[in-house]
Amino acid sequence: MRGTLAIASLRRNASRTLLAILGVAIAAAMLLDMVMLSTGLRESFRELLLSRGFQLRLAPRGTLPFDTEATITGASGIIATLHLNPAVETVSPVLGASVHVPRADSTVASFALGLIPAVQADYELVSGRDAAAGDALVANDEFLRATGARVGDTLRVAAGYNPQLRSFVQERRFVVVGRARFVYLSSGEPAVAMPLHTLQTMTGNAADDRVSLFMVRTRAGANVDSVGAWIDREVPRVQAISTRQALEQVDQRLSYFRQLSYILGAVSLVVGFLLVTTLVTVSVNERVGEIAVMRAIGVSRAHVVQQILIEGSAISLVGAAAGLGLGLVTARYLNSILSRFPGLPARIDFFLFQPRAAWIALGLLVLSGIAAGIYPSWRAASLPVARTLREEAVA
């Protein structure tokens, strides 16, 4: 009965109700987007770090992986030391450097990774085969487009540019044996991968056996933090960074995104609350006589309060449902813009949909709809019946 009366009251002013629902939908879309932004970036980064099953990154002490050009010497010895710990399952050394493909009147610059194909975790092979031979490399689509090469072609690749002589330190011929998708690199960045020793030789890092970082996978059930602490003690030249520690540093560096999401989410929630409050209050003011008649014929105050609360909740619920769809569309568009931020991996999503985020947004809006009906319902239930009927009759 109460629900039927509430729906009838809303349908009586259909245009105003529709506008209110649209307003709540926009507020709901913004709220959902902000909830997705506050949690999505961190969750997306966590999934990226764990996507290849490696829980630890070992970087030169005091730096983050590829944060500087610092390298780690004696890679083979460090790998042997790490395997002394029974909790360590796989160690993947990685060297990063810039290489160039000379052309007739220019060069194509590219980022190169030197690694061991059997234990690598930096790319996913799309077609072809891994770069196991010393003169083989795999490349991403951006590199192939920039050079005009295809799988099976032979390219001249140079490294170690000398600015004084205006020449490269070493140049070698490589066969493109595969097409790959690099996991941690930013979108649009040309990249290749080749055997670790080959890139070390080309960049002059072979004598010291230098690498940029190590990626470590622990065995199932191992305590990652304990393994990281053991590595810090046994190999003082490196710093073990676990996924948890990496997420903490990401939170610090990108905290403004979370602060922005909290502020805009709160604003959208307040806007939705005020919109529903205004509409229900106006509706109650227009039906003062009707409510007084209902009270006069024996309708209880609780009945009146419940009816008005249902009106506010219905507007919020319908608006929130429409806003969830609108929020997903806008989130996808905004994510396509923010994902172009320089240096971010292509797999990072600022707006990552999670069912929990949708339920949070929906719950908050329904609660705000209920709260929005408290004042007008209290006012309606507190009307003096006799005086209200007399004023309505005179009017």
Residues 176 and 303 in one domain: no
Q: Give the pLDDT confidence score for residue 11 in this predicted structure.
A: 67
Final residue in a domain of this structure, among 172, 207, 236: 236
Q: Which residues fall within 8 angstroms of residue 117, CB to CB, at 6 or more apart?
A: 130, 131, 132, 195
In a domain, 307, yes or no: yes
| Coil vs helix vs strand at 129 | coil
116 within some domain:
yes
Which tens digit of pLDDT belongs to each residue from 312-324? 777 778 887 888 8
Does residue 222 sit in the same domain as residue 260?
Answer: no
| Domain ranges, residue 382 | 2-49+253-394
> Does 232 share its domain with 260?
no
Same domain, 383 and 266: yes
- Are 230 and 278 part of one and the same domain? no
Beta strands in the chain (DSSP E): 56-60, 88-102, 107-115, 123-128, 136-139, 154-162, 167-182, 191-195, 213-218, 238-242
Q: What is the pLDDT of residue 77?
A: 93
pLDDT in tens, 250-293: 777 667 767 777 787 788 878 877 877 777 777 777 666 666 66
pLDDT value, residue 308? 74
**198 & 76 share domain:** yes
Q: Measured between alpha carbons, how far is 392 from 395 in angstroms, rounded to an integer?
A: 5
pLDDT number for residue 299: 65
pLDDT at 8: 65
User: Tokens standing for 338?
Assistant: 């923010």
The pLDDT, as a whole number, for residue 317 is 80
Both 141 and 213 in a single domain?
Answer: yes
Strand, coil or helix: what is 154?
strand
- Residue listed under structure tokens 């039906």: 287
pLDDT (0 to 100) of residue 91: 93
* Residue 241 resides in a domain: no
Structure-token match 């999503």, residue found:
349
Q: Is residue 245 part of a domain?
A: no
Copy the structure tokens of residue 126: 């799309």
13, 140: one domain: no
- Report helix, strand or coil for 186: strand
Give me the pLDDT at residue 385, please: 61
HSE-CB of 314 using CA atoms within 13 angstroms: 20
Residues 45 and 66 placed together within one structural domain of the fold: no
Q: Would you state the pLDDT for residue 195?
A: 94
Clarify whether residues 329 and 280 are in a common domain: yes
- Domain presence at residue 54: no
Compute the Cα dihedral for 186, 190, 194, 199 and give only its sign: negative
- Same domain flag for 267 and 380: yes
Establish if 56 belongs to a structural domain: no
Model confidence, pTM? 0.67
Amino acid identity at 352? L
Asked whether the CA dihedral 354, 355, 360, 361 is positive or negative, the reply is positive
The answer on 152 and 67 residing in a single domain is yes
Q: What is the pLDDT of residue 95?
A: 93
Q: In whole angstroms, give the CA distance from residue 48 to residue 350.
A: 13
Residues of the chain with pLDDT under 50: none
Residue 231 lies in a domain: yes
Total domains in the fold of the chain:
2
Among 375, 361, 380, 354, which Cα is nearest to 291's? 380
Question: C-alpha distances in angstroms, 33 versus 133, 176, 321, 332?
Answer: 47, 42, 14, 10
SS3 55: coil
Question: What local confidence, expressed as pLDDT, does residue 113 receive?
Answer: 92
Q: Is 246 within a domain?
A: no
